[in-house]
Amino acid sequence: MDALLNLRQLVDSFFLLVQCKSIEIYNEFSPPHELGIFVREKLTNEIMQIKKRLILTLRKVVQ
């Protein structure tokens, strides 16, 4: 459950940055692309897959 809460906080933070124009959304394809970059920078121990309709799949990296 903590991972879901953290993901929710990350998504909220992302859209706050979009709202204050720190992250630019330039066309219909940029939200998942920019969100992926943002989340990847924050979650360095996760494997992330972005699928159609902004579905994020996260799982722990096995070392």
pLDDT digit string (tens) for 30-46?
888 888 888 888 877 76
Q: Which residues contact 31 (CB under 8 A, 6 or more apart)?
A: 25, 54
Indicate whether this model's pTM tops 0.75. no
What's the rounded mean pLDDT across residues 10-31? 90
48: DSSP letter: E
17 closest CA partner among 35, 41, 32: 35
- What pLDDT was estimated at residue 1? 46
